[in-house]
Amino acid sequence: MMKRLLLFTLGIVGLFNFAQAQLIVSATEFARNPALYNGRTIILTGVEVTINNPSNTANVASGAIAPAIATMSGPVTISPVAPTRPQIGGSTTPTTAVQRCNPPNGWYTTDVELPNGLKQCFVIYDKMANTLPPTTFNADLTLRVDTRLMHRITRVKVNP
C-alpha cells in the first residue's frame, strides 16, 4: 500500500514539473531580456515568422536557376596579421557583437520579428519548414532558447 501511495505521489509531482517546464512568454517580454530564458524551453506567442527555405522561394518555385555561389580561382595567398591590442588610456569605440547564424545541416534560418528590432538567430528543422506557409505568418513558437548560439524551434502553431 505504501509503495502505491509513493508511486502515485511521485507521478503527480512529475506531472506538475512537466507542466511547469514550458513558459508562455510574449514577444515583448522575450525582447527585453532573452538571456533570462537561456537553456529553457518556452512558448513565444504572437510573432511574425518568415521561413528562409530555398524551396519556398518564388525563384525556385518558378523554375528559375538559383544564383551561383562565388568561387575563387587561381593562387590564393594568406598573409599572417598580428592581433591588435587595445591601447591603454586611448579612446575606444563600442563595438556591436554580430551574432553569426550558421544552422546545422537539415535546418533553415528563420526570421522572427521581435520588438525593439532585436535580432536573434532562430532555426527550424527542414521537414517542419516545408509544411509551413511560404509567406510571412503570425505564429506561436515552442523553442529551446540558446542566446549564445541559436534558438531551435521545435513546434509551430500558425495563428489565423
Instruction: Report the pLDDT averaged over residues 121-140.
Output: 92
Helices (H), the chain: 2-19, 27-32, 58-61, 126-129
Look at residue 140 and tell me whether its pLDDT is greater than 90. yes
Contact by Cβ (8 Å): 110, 153: yes
Q: Domain segments of the chain: what residues?
A: 21-59+96-160
Pick one of 2.60.40, 2.60.120, 2.40.50, 3.40.50 as the CATH number of 21-59+96-160. Answer: 2.40.50
pLDDT of residue 3: 81
pLDDT of residue 16: 64
Which residues make Cβ contacts (< 8 Å) with residue 56, sequence separation at least 6?
129, 130, 134
Q: 54 pLDDT band (50/70/90 cuts)?
A: low
